[in-house]
Amino acid sequence: MAKKTGEKYQNIIEAAVKVIAQHGYHQAQVSKIAREASVADGTIYLYFDNKADVLVSLFKEKMGAFVQATRERIELLERADDRLRELIYMHLWQMSQNRDWAIVTQIELRQSDPVVRAGINQALKEYLKLIDEVIFLGKEQGVFRENVEHRVARKMIFGTLDEAVTSWVMNDRKYNLVSLVEPIHNLFINGLKVEKQ
């Protein structure tokens, strides 16, 4: 039904990101997005099934690019621990590069209704799969412990990065997010404990 291509399709998605970032999820009415995209309200329904579809599509498009960029970069590296560092870097760097997107993904889109949430979670799986791959590789390479539960490690990696970005956005991005790459990586690899002498 909805033609999910074309210049206007992209325009609408960009407009939605901008409007949500600027006015917040609850003030991002269809008509406001339409105005920002310089189309009529009804035109949005030629490209999307409904408002939720706009939000899910937006997340999928952006998240798809996000994951792909990350994957391309980490696959240039050999060792799993280096890949992990690169994944952390890409996550924080990409978020810090796009102010609007960070606000939308960390704050605003979390207010959305169950339908949108379901779509978002679907899109997130691709990213979680990427994280899993790094963990599995690390085990294969003997770089990560065999007895690490990969599901737990995945939660730690994603949960920490997510919390880091949310916290950074909520604190009005007062510090350099990328500066957290090394401390986070260090913590993931070495844990909290003091090394035995």
Partner DNA sequence: TATGAATGAGCCTTCATTCAT
Partner DNA sequence: CATGAATGAAGGCTCATTCAT
* Dihedral sign from CA coordinates of 175, 179, 181, 183: negative
Do residues 152 and 138 touch, judged by C-beta distance below 8 A?
no
Among its own copies, DNA, none, partner that 74 touches (CB below 5 to 8 angstroms by kind): none
Q: How many residues does the chain have?
A: 197
Among its own copies, DNA, none, partner that 43 touches (CB below 5 to 8 angstroms by kind): DNA
49 binds its own copies (CB under 8 A): no
27 binds DNA (CB under 7 A): yes
112 binds its own copies (CB under 8 A): yes
29 binds DNA (CB under 7 A): yes
142 binds DNA (CB under 7 A): no
How far is Cα 165 from Cα 127, in angstroms, rounded to an integer?
A: 16
Looking only at residues 132 through 171 of this chain, which bind its own copies when binding is defined by CB under 8 A? 135, 138, 142-145, 148-149, 152-153, 155-156, 158-164, 167, 170
46 binds DNA (CB under 7 A): yes
How far is Cα 13 from Cα 54, in angstroms, rounded to an integer?
A: 7
Q: Which of 18, 22, 24, 43 binds DNA (CB under 7 A)?
A: 43
How far is Cα 158 from Cα 30, in angstroms, rounded to an integer?
A: 32
1 binds its own copies (CB under 8 A): no
How far is Cα 87 from Cα 8, in angstroms, rounded to an integer?
A: 32
Of the ranges 30-38, 66-74, 141-149, 172-180, which one interacts with DNA (CB under 7 A)? Answer: 30-38
Q: At residue 136, what are phi and psi to the nearest 5 degrees?
A: -60, -45
Q: Which of 15, 63, 67, 184 binds its own copies (CB under 8 A)?
A: 184
CB count within 10 Å of CB 35 equals 14
User: Which amino acid is residue 6, in one-letter code?
Assistant: G
42 binds DNA (CB under 7 A): yes
Among DNA, its own copies, none, partner that 65 touches (CB below 5 to 8 angstroms by kind): none
